[in-house]
């Protein structure tokens, strides 16, 4: 009887593991004496939009940079789509990165390239067998998705902040990743453009069935896109719940964000 | 205070050494970025050509005009093409080319990579599965190493032409006579070491510009500092390498 119960629990745990795109356990990261992440643990379920909420400098961006392998953690495990990120070599990291899109806070569009070349760049690296026509079709599809097909031959410097964000989103989605990491996607945008970007994120996540981690402290964006929210306070996962659950919390630290 | 400065100097020298080692490791490993290398050769070589040519022409003209009175005083005016050609080919054209390139290319690379770093473009490249060191650094360093010698040879030719015009301002030396004297004077020991050292100048300018840009920080202020220190350090390195090249040439009795 006990053995049967144990096996049921084990089966449940396995099925839960299958449904998790990212699992972070006991993560530590310090910069000198600044201990940014202290025993941080979280998971991202497949198909979920998870918002990581926290003050500026609380380590949110460090967390997603650790997840994509841009920063090496001091200790702890990061498992993305079944692969342990800190243990991968550069080639293995490149392989897993094809399945992860990253939208940078500053958009990180290549200034020396046109919008077309910006979008072609990841395709030419990873889909080397594509014909010129197929590359063109994928570029135009990505631009049409964000409503900016007419900007294809423009340079990033000729575009507004909102347009640059949309182009960066199109570039992030062009390889059709399984997971997207958004680093403050609406920061520096006016409320209308921020709302448009939030809606676009939601639509594209549904269309491409992606899982997302969204770093933000724009509460309108958080409300619009989140399925679940975790709060990163003092280097640990302080709280975990839906927008409505956290909004009703009486904890002072949580209330400050929702006021 | 002095020990801290020395510590910073030694630490930076060590970092540049490691950066150079990484260049050699990455540059000769596939995948090769040929199209980016060609693009950089175009920007570094072709786009610097007018500036190098104008400067070399003026240097040739000025050196000839200024050397003439002294030679006239000793009744050695006929030696003007010989003297000017040796000084231009051995020293002035390669060093001036390298200094112009340190200013134009070194600062350009430092500022471009620095701004790419602070706007997260280098990180974006890395997360899109591209090795930024190979794509940005290896191509730029190879382009400067290949293009600056070509610019140096061009500067030799243009400065000698400037010398021809300078010779003819106060005297009359035919086109054939001038070039006969120039080619009679120049030997293997004048031309080859001068071309060889420009490869080292090019490498130094590329590696310092890239190192400073790639390790830029502190936002836009850092970009300005990267560009500035790329020019200062690479110009200084050009003189140090020139000194070493002269010593080596002298030891090999090629002077």
Question: Chain B within 8 Å of A182 (Cβ-Cβ)?
Answer: no
Residues of A in contact with B39 (CB under 8 A): none
Q: Cβ contact (<8 Å) for A106 and B120?
A: yes
Q: Cβ contact (<8 Å) for B129 and A68?
A: no
Q: Which CATH number fits the domain that encloses residue A196?
A: 3.40.50.300
Asked if residue A80 belongs to a domain, the reply is no
Asked if residue A68 belongs to a domain, the reply is yes
Domain coverage including residue A181 = 47-73+89-258
Residues of A in contact with B131 (CB under 8 A): 90
| DSSP label at residue B129 | T
Q: What percent of chain A has pLDDT over 90?
A: 45
Question: Chain B within 8 Å of A4 (Cβ-Cβ)?
Answer: no
Q: How confident is the model at residue B1 (pLDDT cuts 50, 70, 90)?
A: low
State which residue of chain A sits closest to B33, comparing Cα positions: A125
Asked if residue A165 belongs to a domain, the reply is yes
- pLDDT tens figures, B137-193: 999 999 999 999 999 999 999 999 999 999 998 878 899 999 999 999 999 888 999
Structure tokens at A16: 């839960």
Q: What is the mean pLDDT of residues A244-249?
A: 88
Residue A11 has pLDDT above 50, yes or no: no
Residue A13 has pLDDT above 70, yes or no: no
How many structural domains comprise chain A? Answer: 1
State which residue of chain B sits closest to A177, comparing Cα positions: B128
Q: How confident is the model at residue A19 (pLDDT cuts 50, 70, 90)?
A: confident
What SS3 string covers A84-124? EHHHCCHHHHHHHHCCEEEECCCCCCCCCCCHHHHHHHHHH
Residues of A in contact with B129 (CB under 8 A): 94-95, 97-98, 122, 125-126
Q: Where are the domains of chain B?
A: 2-251
Best CA proximity match to B246, nearest among B91, B93, B82: B91
Question: Chain B within 8 Å of A102 (Cβ-Cβ)?
Answer: yes
Q: pLDDT value at position B254?
A: 67
Q: pLDDT value at position A117?
A: 93
- pLDDT tens figures, A146-190: 889 999 999 999 999 889 999 999 999 898 899 999 999 888 888
Q: What is the mean pLDDT of residues B102-109?
A: 94
Q: Cis peptide before A39, with omega less than 30 degrees from 0?
A: no
Q: How confident is the model at residue A15 (pLDDT cuts 50, 70, 90)?
A: very low
Q: How confident is the model at residue A258 (pLDDT cuts 50, 70, 90)?
A: confident
Asked if residue A57 belongs to a domain, the reply is yes
> Using CB atoms, which residue from B123, B129, B131 is nearest to A108?
B123
C-alpha distances in Å from residue B212, one per residue of A87, B117, B181, B206? 30, 11, 45, 10
Structure tokens at B175: 């086109």
Question: Chain B within 8 Å of A28 (Cβ-Cβ)?
Answer: no
Asked if residue A84 belongs to a domain, the reply is no
- pLDDT tens figures, B5-16: 899 889 999 999
- pLDDT tens figures, B16-63: 999 999 999 988 888 888 999 999 999 999 999 999 999 999 999 999
Q: What share of chain A is helix, strand, coil (3-state, %, to 5)?
A: 45, 25, 30
Q: What is the mean pLDDT of residues B198-222?
A: 91
- pLDDT tens figures, A37-89: 999 999 999 989 999 998 888 889 999 999 999 999 999 999 999 999 999 98
């Amino acid at each position: 009887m006990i053995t049967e119960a144990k096996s049921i629990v084990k089966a449940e745990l396995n099925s839960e593991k299958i449904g998790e795109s990212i699992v972070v356990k006991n993560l530590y990261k310090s910069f000198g004496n600044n201990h940014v992440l202290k025993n941080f643990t979280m998971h991202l379920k497949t198909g979920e939009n998870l918002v990581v909420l926290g003050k500026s400098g609380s380590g949110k961006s460090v967390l997603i940079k650790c997840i994509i392998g841009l920063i090496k953690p001091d200790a702890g495990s990061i498992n993305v789509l079944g692969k342990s990120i800190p243990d991968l070599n550069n080639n293995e990291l490149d392989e897993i990165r094809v399945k992860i899109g990253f939208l940078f806070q500053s958009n990180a569009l290549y200034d020396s390239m046109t919008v077309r070349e910006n979008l072609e760049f990841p395709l030419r690296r990873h889909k080397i067998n594509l014909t010129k026509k197929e590359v063109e079709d994928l570029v135009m599809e990505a631009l049409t998705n964000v409503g900016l097909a007419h900007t294809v031959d423009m340079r990033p410097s000729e575009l507004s902040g909102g347009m640059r964000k949309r182009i960066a989103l199109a570039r992030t989605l062009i390889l059709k990743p399984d997971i997207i990491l958004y680093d403050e996607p609406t920061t520096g945008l006016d409320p209308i453009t921020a709302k448009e970007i939030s809606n676009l994120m939601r639509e594209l996540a549904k269309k491409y069935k992606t899982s997302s981690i969204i770093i933000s402290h724009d509460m309108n964006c958080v409300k619009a896109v989140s399925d679940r929210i975790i709060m990163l306070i003092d280097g640990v996962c302080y709280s975990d719940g839906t927008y409505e659950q956290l909004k009703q919390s009486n904890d002072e630290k949580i209330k400050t964000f929702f006021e | 205070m002095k020990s801290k400065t020395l510590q910073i100097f030694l630490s930076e020298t060590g970092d540049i050494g490691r950066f150079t080692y990484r260049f050699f490791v990455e540059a000769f490993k596939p995948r090769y970025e040929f199209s980016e290398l060609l693009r950089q050769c175009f920007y570094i070589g072709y786009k610097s050509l007018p500036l190098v040519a104008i400067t070399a022409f003026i240097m040739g003209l000025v050196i000839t005009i200024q050397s003439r009175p002294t030679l006239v005083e000793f009744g050695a005016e006929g030696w003007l093409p010989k003297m000017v050609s040796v000084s231009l080919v051995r020293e002035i054209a390669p060093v001036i080319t390298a200094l112009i390139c340190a200013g134009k290319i070194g600062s350009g690379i430092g500022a471009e990579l620095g701004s790419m770093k602070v706007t997260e473009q280098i990180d974006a490249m890395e997360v899109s599965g591209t090795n930024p060191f190979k794509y940005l650094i290896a191509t730029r360093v190879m382009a400067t190493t290949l293009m600056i010698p070509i610019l140096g040879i061009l500067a030799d030719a243009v400065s000698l032409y400037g010398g021809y015009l300078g010779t003819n301002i106060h005297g009359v030396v035919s086109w054939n006579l001038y070039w006969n004297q120039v080619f009679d004077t120049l030997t293997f020991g004048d031309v080859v070491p001068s071309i060889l050292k420009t490869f080292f100048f090019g490498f130094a300018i590329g590696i310092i510009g890239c190192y400073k840009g790639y390790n830029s920080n502190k936002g836009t202020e850092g970009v300005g500092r990267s560009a500035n220190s790329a020019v200062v350090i690479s110009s200084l390195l050009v003189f140090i390498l020139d000194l070493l090249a002269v010593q080596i040439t002298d030891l090999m009795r090629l002077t």
